[in-house]
Chains A and B, each alone.
Chain A
Amino acid sequence: MTLFGICAAISIVGTVLYLFQAGAVWSLITKKLEPVDLIPARRPALPAVSILKPLRGLDDNLFDNLASFCTQNYPEYEILFSLQDHNDPAYKVAKKVQDKFPDKNITIIVERCNAGLNPKVNNLIPAYRKAAHPLVLISDSNVMVDENYLTEITRHTNDPEVGLVSNVISGVGGRSLGAVLENLHLNSFILGSVSFLDRFLGMPCVIGKSMLLKKSDLEALGGLEAFKDILAEDFIIGREMQRAGKKVILSNYLISNVNEYWGIKRFLNRHTRWGKLRWKIGGAKYLSELLANPVFMATLPVLLKGPSRETLSFAAIIGVIKILGDSLLGKKIEASTARTYVHKQSPLIYFLVPVKDIIIGILWFVPLVSSTVGWRGNRYVIGQDSQLSPCTDTGVWSWGYRITDSIRARVA
């Protein structure tokens, strides 16, 4: 079989897989749940919730993101903004939000915590200790929700078997090239994979942008401290929760992850980091991600063998299918998040889908040779299950260190 034949076969399988992913997303976000009765006298008692918001630096749209949690149509909840120091630019924004909503129960916690190597977990620990309610919601600062969000996600907690509720996320905003690429990828590969794993394989893939859990369940896993040195603490908490016999629910409430002014470098960094996490956690399963990138597989023969009528036509057909699929999904997602964030994207952005997929295809190889990640100003070496260890060597010779480390980790 020729190189073109192999790539074409993989690409066709990938396209079918992609269509299943798109179908999973479509069915999840169009699934009609029984509406929650919003009239207080008629609805079942809603549990009080502590919302933990770890803050570090300025995310795009930060003020509105934080404010959206202050306008929840929900009877009892507290918000804990958690920072490591007063000089963080997010402190000023948190303070402004607190001043704007004086009637809400908002606490700003500024406390340095060096419990572990994961800066997000370090940031969460002081807030978690101060959380007053047994139900905690860990929510990233780069997400925006509408006023029904809490009501929608807490509906699942009536079942005592439920240990964790996470959400599907969509990328919105996109006012720069990096942000557009980021949102295209979130709304296609990431959203598709999470929905596909949940729908067809019953496998939880928790993304830490929204995690609702009971303190008692988390304590049974060792509390947040048990995940202080793990980079993908969200995924691992979900996995451990399921192993402990608890249900992990993927809510169909679509959360808006606002990405407006990203540079290309930031997009590349994030997906290299996420790729490394999936490689370290999934191992051989990571190889299947190439399957889920039919555009890249269809383009490979063009790159390796040179352009010909056959290779170019095939790549073009796959590219058009992907553009059409992503644009249809994108429009559906845009309609679903319109209540939260209004910014109409030009349909022309979908012509960037093949470019984005080729970039992601190239990034796919990076985790195979490098185990170091840069995140929030820190550098780490990641091991099995995204276990972190410090990386001190960042000079030109660190490549040797990284390659050695990668080989050592693979052998182990």
Chain B
Amino acid sequence: MMLCDFHIHTNFSDGSLEMRDTIDLFGQAGFDVIAVTDHVVSGDNSIGKFARQFNLSVRGDNFDEYFNAIKEEAKRAWEKYEMLVIPGVEISKNYLSKNKSAHILLLDIKEFIPACMDYEEIFLEAKNQNALTVACHPHHTPDIVNKDTLFLWNNRDKYAKYIDAWEIANRDDVFNVISLKKYPYIANSDFHQARHLYSWKTLLNCEKDVDSVKQCIRHNKGVAITLFRN
């Protein structure tokens, strides 16, 4: 099975490593498929404005640079490690209330999607681009630093139809509610620092190309999760 991680940040947002170093870290460790998913924060509130002010977000004006950097690294990663690198973003809608906040991974995105759009618009635009949508850390976590993002889970009856997969595990946390609801699942590291390499991961049994990976996750057959430890 292929070892995969679909939730990785670089210093294009709040990750600590540069794009090239991040790709090398995963390539040197034998990964088969990864997705680079830097934050796109909404600029319609003070939290988002703060993040954009300190360049902790991919923005409309640097999206092409970000996208091209991923594409360039994807080529290098394939030639050197035979590792597939998928371009993505993490739409980050942060509010003071955890019940209003949500983070969504868009995998295999082609054009910029602003985070200030409403949820339905974001999902529809993602479908337009044939991107995969994943609800990140959708339930309560014991993390006292990062706030919970519960909006999608609280409104799952309305939004589940738009979501291709839910994170059943994120770094060290496991969300058993995803299992109870029998939602399609994947597990990711939410990688920000080198030590986050050792965390929950997804194993996929499919061909190593973007379409097969997306199809495998959508159908959620041949998907397993593993706690990657050294």
Contacts and interface: CB of A to CB of B under 8 A. Distances in A.
A404 interface: no
A217 interface: no
A89 interface: yes
B199 to A, nearest CB: 13
B112 to A, nearest CB: 31
Contacts of B27: 63
A410 interface: no
Given A89-B228, A176-B194, A96 B29 contact: no
B3 interface: yes
Nearest to A90: B30
A63 B195 CA distance: 18
Interface string A186-205: 00000000000000000000
A274 B49 CA distance: 50
B28 A261 contact: no
Nearest to A92: B30
Interface residues of B, number: 14
A61 interface: yes
Interface string B11-28: 000000000010001011
Interface in B76-99: 81-82
B230 interface: yes
Contacts of B28: 58, 60-64, 93
A134 interface: no
A99 B208 CA distance: 15
Nearest to B28: A63
B81 A175 contact: no
Contacts of B25: 261
A263 B29 CA distance: 18
Contacts of A176: 194
A57 B29 CA distance: 10
Interface string A93-104: 101100110000
Given A89-B230, A92-B3, A175-B21, A63 B30 contact: yes
A77 B28 CA distance: 24
Contacts of A64: 28
B82 A58 contact: no
Given A57-B230, A58-B230, A175-B21, A93 B195 contact: no
A59 to B, nearest CB: 9
B195 A89 contact: no
Contacts of B228: 89
Interface in A114-150: none
Contacts of B194: 175-176, 260-261
Contacts of A263: 195
Contacts of B21: 175
Nearest to A100: B82
A95 B194 CA distance: 23
Contacts of B81: 63, 96
Interface of B: 3, 21, 25, 27-30, 81-82, 194-195, 228-230
Of all A-B residue pairs in the complex, the 4 with the closest CB atoms, nearest first, are A92-B30, A261-B194, A93-B30, A63-B28
Given A62-B30, A93-B29, 14 more contacts: A62-B28, A63-B29, A63-B30, A63-B81, A89-B29, A89-B228, A92-B3, A93-B28, A96-B82, A100-B82, A175-B21, A175-B194, A260-B194, A263-B195
